[in-house]
């Protein structure tokens, strides 16, 4: 069976993006920020703490971006003695979840020294040792302003971004024969098992099913961030037509997986994919949900889609490219100001795999 084909008007990626980008962006909207604050109260998410720049409070775990090995093991051993070194309480600027690439934050601030002053006050109020602007472009023209204000840039996990064709078939035709065959084989495997994809309107029972598919995948993840709550999945339904939640269901009608997509005014942003443990490596359920995210973005005339980290090799075979990003870090405590003055070369060395496409594909 051929991959699902969507027929859309023939126009350029640029014009499609321009048509959609006239709409307000969902991921900057008050409703989305209200959901983040309400569904994740421990993060203390606040859209006004820094004069309109959203921020939240969480632990920065230095071990998460490290490859397995002696440095990661040593940090785990030191953490019970020096938690403020290994997992400092931190003030993060931006969203705790989507969108992944937050380079737009650099453009949203006109007065960087004033922002630094606001950060200092907020870190004092929240007892934070570090401030972090996550996942911004390392080549952005405004980056020098932040460096001059004391921020240090360290590598982050790259985004996975696909430029989209007019149809999913055209998207596949741009890939090598082996990649096309793999995608179509996985779709056939999913369909022959009798599974189906279904667009959902979120209700309490669906919320529970989504969380049961999500949480085991979070617990297995090589790189963990902040976990979602059950309330988050219920709240997605109140965000309107720009949030797409699709479930995979087995022949008995049971939810065996799901995928979330956000239409961010012309550029789609994937959210979570979840698969229940019994189907973790069965019937190509995960692959089918990933392909659906791309099909859905194409069907809604998006110019591109962010598939986020990780799974870099799989996403490359689908047509995604790695987009380098960095974190901007500003020390607040005496310990972290000292570390960022003296240990940055060491930090860049141990994080060098984040700038190596082949190393990322091997490890993640």
Q: What is the pLDDT of residues 132-184, one digit of tens each?
A: 999 999 999 999 999 999 999 999 999 999 999 999 999 999 999 999 999 99
Q: Which of 25-34, 281-290, 324-333 has the lowest mean pLDDT?
A: 25-34
Whose tokens are 């091997």? That residue is 362
Residues 80, 193 share a domain = no
Start-end of H helices in 109-203: 112-126, 143-148, 168-173, 177-192
pLDDT band at 24 (very low <50, low <70, confident <90, very high): low
pLDDT, tens digit (0-9, with 9 covering 90-100), for 55-75: 999 999 999 999 999 999 999
pLDDT on residue 266: 82
| Strand 267-275 with 304-306, pairing | parallel
Residues 316, 332 share a domain = no
pLDDT on residue 238: 84
**In the predicted structure, residue 22 carries a pLDDT above the cut 90:** no
Residues 259, 175 share a domain = yes
Q: Is residue 7 part of a domain?
A: no
User: At 237, which CATH number?
Assistant: 3.40.630.30
Residues 351, 312 share a domain = no
pLDDT, tens digit (0-9, with 9 covering 90-100), for 193-230: 999 999 987 776 788 899 999 999 999 988 888 899 98
Q: Is residue 45 part of a domain?
A: yes
Burial of 134 (0-12, 13-18, 19+ CB in 10 A): buried
pLDDT on residue 11: 39
DSSP code of 172? H
Residues 224, 138 share a domain = no
Q: Is residue 64 part of a domain?
A: yes
Which tokens is 342 given? 């003296």
With b meaning 16 or more CB within 10 Å and e meaning fewer, what string describes 160-188?
bbbebbbbbeebbeebeeeebebbeebbe
Q: Is residue 235 part of a domain?
A: yes
Residues 115, 35 share a domain = yes
The answer to whether 300 and 55 have CB atoms below 8 angstroms apart is no
Give the total number of structural domains in the chain: 2
Residues 234, 139 share a domain = no
Residues 223, 203 share a domain = yes
Distance CA 268, CA 244 (A): 10
pLDDT on residue 2: 35
Residues 301, 195 share a domain = yes
Regarding pTM above 0.75, the answer is yes
Residues 210, 251 share a domain = yes
Q: Is residue 10 part of a domain?
A: no
pLDDT band at 1 (very low <50, low <70, confident <90, very high): very low
Average pLDDT value for the chain: 91
Q: Is residue 142 part of a domain?
A: yes
In degrees, rounded to 5, the angle at the alpha carbon of residue 9 between the alpha carbons of residues 176 and 317 is: 20
pLDDT on residue 151: 97
Percent of the chain with pLDDT over 70: 93
Residues 35, 147 share a domain = yes
Tally DSSP H helices, then E strands, for the chain. Answer: 16, 13
Max distance between CA atoms of the chain, in angstroms, equals 62
Q: Is residue 8 part of a domain?
A: no
DSSP code of 319? T
Q: Is residue 59 part of a domain?
A: yes
Residues 211, 225 share a domain = yes
Domain that holds residue 268: 160-322
pLDDT band at 241 (very low <50, low <70, confident <90, very high): confident
Q: Which of 16-20, 93-97, 317-321 has the lowest mean pLDDT?
A: 16-20
pLDDT on residue 21: 42
pLDDT on residue 265: 84
pLDDT, tens digit (0-9, with 9 covering 90-100), for 2-20: 344 333 333 333 333 344 4
pLDDT band at 90 (very low <50, low <70, confident <90, very high): very high
């Amino acid at each position: 069976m051929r991959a699902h084909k969507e027929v859309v008007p023939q126009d350029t990626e640029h014009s499609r993006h321009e048509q959609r980008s006239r709409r307000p962006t969902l991921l900057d909207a008050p409703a989305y920020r209200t959901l983040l604050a309400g569904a994740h109260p421990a993060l203390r998410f606040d859209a006004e703490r820094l004069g309109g720049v959203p921020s939240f409070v969480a632990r920065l775990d230095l071990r998460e971006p490290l490859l397995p090995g002696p440095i990661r093991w040593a940090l785990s051993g030191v953490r019970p003695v020096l938690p403020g070194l290994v997992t400092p309480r931190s003030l993060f600027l931006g969203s705790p979840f989507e969108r992944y690439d937050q380079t737009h934050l650099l453009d949203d601030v006109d007065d960087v020294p004033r922002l630094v002053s606001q950060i200092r006050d907020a870190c004092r109020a929240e007892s934070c040792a570090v401030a972090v602007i996550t996942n911004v472009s390392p080549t952005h023209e405004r980056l020098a302003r932040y460096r001059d204000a004391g921020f240090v840039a360290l590598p982050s996990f790259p985004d996975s971004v696909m430029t989209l064709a007019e149809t999913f078939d055209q998207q596949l035709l741009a890939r090598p024969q082996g990649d096309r065959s793999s995608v179509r084989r996985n779709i056939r495997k999913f369909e022959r098992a009798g599974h189906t994809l279904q667009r959902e309107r979120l209700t309490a029972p669906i919320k529970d099913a989504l969380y049961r598919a999500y949480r085991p995948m979070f617990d297995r993840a090589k790189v963990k961030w902040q976990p979602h709550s059950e309330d988050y999945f219920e709240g997605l339904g109140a965000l309107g037509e720009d949030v797409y939640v699709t479930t995979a269901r087995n022949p008995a009608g049971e939810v065996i997986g799901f995928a979330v997509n956000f239409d961010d005014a012309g550029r789609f942003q994937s959210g979570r994919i979840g698969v229940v443990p019994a189907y973790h490596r069965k019937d190509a359920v995960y692959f089918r949900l990933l392909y659906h995210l791309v099909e859905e973005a194409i069907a809604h005339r998006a110019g591109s889609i962010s598939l986020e980290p990780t799974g870099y090799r799989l996403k490359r075979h689908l047509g995604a490219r790695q987009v380098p990003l960095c974190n901007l870090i500003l020390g607040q405590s005496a310990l972290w100001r000292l570390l960022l003055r003296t240990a940055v070369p060491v930090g860049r060395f141990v994080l060098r795999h984040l700038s190596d496409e082949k190393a990322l594909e091997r490890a993640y």
